[in-house]
Structure 1
């Protein structure tokens, strides 16, 4: 290189630093891409996304190509810098060239391009993929040979190089993706998506209508009483039973009963029993996502939940599961959470004992235990291990609670403080 002028060497060195910056930025940009967005753009026909996706099919070859190019450029730049240093400063020029080139490479060929690529991975990747595709074809023999050596060494370490990373997401990772969507997905839609993901963690017992609240008709009652229940019931379906709920005989659709009453005028106990649908039983502890599919597969909308002994413990409908996803329907006859929780001026809340613990946690962002009883009344009774006779104060999960009203064997109204309040005032 003695015949090459110093000016040309400086220009060549500058070009090599630019090329080094290109390889560094390309590597960071390609590895920083959102793989799911890339897949979506590729499916929609985006040319740049298709090029990048093809390159990423073999990440080992892509990395080899980039590193081969980057190292060749950096080594050549180092040689040129050494020659320039010796021309300008003699023997001391080697040390000066080494320090100066290190600083220049770090700033202009590593940190700066990689930072820009990390901030704008798509723009960098789609443009650089054009050149990388050409280089991949030209340098294919060298890349394959290099991969053969490196893969052999990797196999000696007990690692299979052909194994690619699993890009699939589990439910917790999907939940994080939804939460991080920000303004891209409306908050209401995010809540619905998260509710769908939570279905597998919620069982039919968590949202069922408990046994003592099931609305039904005792077929052995007087006929006038049965007719009164039929005409005044707010529900579309009623449980028919004999004397006690465990002796259920069917599920009656009020629409069918009303049609027989109006059109045929032949409604009797016998016709009620004949028009009732067969009872659909559900094992307790069934996850909601499973039960939703079973309702769809069996074309059912309502079911009775039974325990291991075959006793009925509650009732659940398709609408109950849908409400877990989209929120309460305006046509729901059960009290809403807003009616069961009343905020107070001191930061506390008056909560009905029958309020569902999961609903309380979701509404107030609390963490009351949900692995036991499903209602606040049940949670307090489990904590006390007895039915209180007087109004007392307790603390559960760092939440001070004051029992305000008792009714027979249950707690009717409780004053609950957020966990950050240290004492009851």
Structure 2
């Protein structure tokens, strides 16, 4: 397969979407969600018209309505390397295992490589049609696919949010100039830019920075205090000099790697402790699974 997908493919054509794809007469997402349209003179600190916004140089932005106009898809999307997806010929047991391991409810489906996406599969559709133990009906993944949006990296996230609402879809793939997949984002990623982090039933409660699992490992928030966790496991994870640099588990993992690691990556510590990244986005680590060496676990 060529490294440059056919620009005439559905994915490439999706990258040509622009602001004109959103009907002007349809009430916008802001009008329905907040009960009012955001005006150009709102107190969110918008720059004068024509001012170019570079969110990469400004750093992470605080949540707010103005992000819908000032931020682009490329500022929010999960990088290609962190996308969890499945091939079109995946059988039912393997598909269910991917859902279990990732904790996701929607997965992109591709034909050959991720640069040839053909749709997305929803956990609910599989469960209702086949169950998790299979049935007598032959399983063909392509028969359970839903459409997925294809968007360019330069699209304002407010435009994408309105389009997701109109098309009733919760996932979009970011397509580069050659029609290849460059990233992924969900409607939750967009809404979080307005109202902040959204916690769900799978997240650890705020008052509980970590929990111990049956196998002796710890499931912890990245913001868990490092000194308190060291006391819990009885292992020193930083020396005196490093204590001044980091004060959380996520900060320690960042110190060990020198970057924000990807979801699923395992980061070893010189003490024998292993940190598995359970949840992360391009800007920060969210949750970790900490596995102790045998002697410490005992």
Q: TM-score, structure 1 length as denominator?
A: 0.35
More strand, by proportion: 2
Per chain length, whose mean CA-contact separation is higher, i.e. which structure has more relative contact order (CA < 8 Å, sep 6+)?
Answer: 2
Structure with higher Rg: it is 1
More helix, by proportion: 1
Q: TM-score, structure 2 length as denominator?
A: 0.49
